[in-house]
């Protein structure tokens, strides 16, 4: 019972974070998976979160159904399938500690990216190319499968194109909605869509929806800079802990 209570004490804030992210605090979702990985296996955590994300995604898909870049999606979605496949092979063949290590490293890299992206300068505006799309789409699929954090590779590829804000948001929405659906069969093959996990997901969905509306309300009232600074510190700290614990388990134990 104590283990179950510990899980929900972490799961509820993690899902609230997901809802706030969908409500306007973009990037906040990077904190959810590292949090859950502290109290359960990373693959189980990702499988529990996935149905929650899919419900949220399709609300967003309806909102952006007319605003997206078809060329980007044609290039990125097939590329992401490669990354999802690589993530599945990793999860199927290595230990939970190795996957936890991957989640920790992805969390740290995400924080570094968020801190440095505005200092790297804007790349020239360019038409989306296939080679770059293959690289960054694959990376987005891989990191999204392992820890539901595919935004940085996606942004590296799409941001230089200088899309209109609504088209950029719509393209991201359509891309990650497709990627989340692509992830269903691999998680099923990993045996993670058990009745227990799906029951947990169903119970967390209302919390996520309410949190999304709360995010819409809060994003207009909270100083974004201070809010994100706190989140980045927490994400880095959890990522460092996951990395340290997994290294200890793999190489020291």
Question: What are the tens digits of pLDDT across the range 38-49?
Answer: 888 888 888 888
Q: What is the 3-state secondary structure (H, E, C) of the chain?
A: CHHHHHHHHHHHHHHHHHHHHHCCCCCHHHHHHHHHHCCCCHHHHHHHHHHHHHHHHHHHHHHCCCCCCHHHHHHHHHHHHHHHHHHHHHHHHCCHHHHHHHHHHHHHHHHHHHHHHHHCCCCCCCCCCHHHHHHHHHHHHHHHHHHCCCHHHHHHHHHHHCCCHHHHHHHHHHHHHHHHHHCHHHHHHCCCCCHHHHHHHHHHHHHHHHHHHHHHHHCCCCCHHHHHHHHHHHHHHHHHHHHHHHHHHHHHC
The answer, yes or no, to whether residue 27 has pLDDT greater than 70, is: no
Distance from C-alpha of 179 to C-alpha of 3, rounded to nearest angstrom: 32
In the chain, what is the straight-line distance between the N-terminal and C-terminal CA atoms, in Å?
A: 28
The answer, yes or no, to whether residue 228 has pLDDT greater than 90, is: no
Q: Please identify which residue in the block is written with the tokens 């974004």.
A: 224
Q: Per-domain residue ranges for the chain?
A: 2-252
- pLDDT value, residue 103: 77
Most confident of 1-5, 109-113, 230-234: 109-113
Question: What are the tens digits of pLDDT across the range 56-103?
Answer: 787 778 878 888 899 999 999 999 999 999 999 988 887 778 877 887
pTM for this one? 0.78
Distance from C-alpha of 192 to C-alpha of 142, rounded to nearest angstrom: 18
Question: What are the tens digits of pLDDT across the range 93-144?
Answer: 877 788 778 878 887 887 887 777 666 555 555 677 888 899 999 989 998 8
Distance from C-alpha of 193 to C-alpha of 31, rounded to nearest angstrom: 22
- 136: alpha, beta or left, given left = phi > 0 and alpha = psi -120 to 50? alpha
């Amino acid at each position: 019972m104590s283990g179950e209570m510990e899980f929900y004490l972490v799961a509820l804030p993690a899902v609230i974070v997901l809802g706030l992210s969908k409500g306007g605090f973009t990037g906040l979702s990077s904190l959810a998976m590292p949090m859950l990985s502290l109290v359960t296996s990373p693959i189980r955590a990702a499988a529990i979160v996935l149905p929650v994300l899919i419900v949220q995604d399709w609300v967003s898909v309806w909102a952006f159904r007319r605003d997206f870049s078809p060329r980007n999606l044609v290039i990125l979605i097939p590329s992401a399938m490669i990354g999802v496949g690589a993530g599945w092979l990793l999860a199927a063949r290595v230990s939970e500690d190795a996957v936890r290590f991957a989640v920790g490293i992805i969390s740290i890299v995400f924080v570094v990216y968020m801190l440095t992206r505005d200092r790297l300068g804007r790349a020239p505006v360019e038409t989306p190319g296939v080679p770059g799309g293959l690289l960054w789409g694959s990376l987005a699929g891989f990191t999204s499968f392992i820890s539901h954090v595919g935004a940085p590779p996606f942004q590296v590829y799409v941001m230089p194109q200088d899309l209109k804000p609504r088209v950029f948001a719509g393209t991201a929405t359509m891309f990650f909605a497709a990627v989340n659906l692509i992830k269903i069969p691999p998680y099923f093959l990993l045996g993670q869509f058990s009745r227990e996990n799906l029951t947990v997901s169903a119970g967390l969905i209302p919390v996520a929806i309410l949190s999304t509306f709360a995010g819409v309300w809060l994003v207009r009232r909270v100083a974004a800079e201070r809010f994100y600074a706190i989140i980045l510190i927490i994400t880095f700290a959890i990522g460092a802990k996951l990395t340290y614990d997994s290294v200890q388990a793999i190489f020291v134990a």
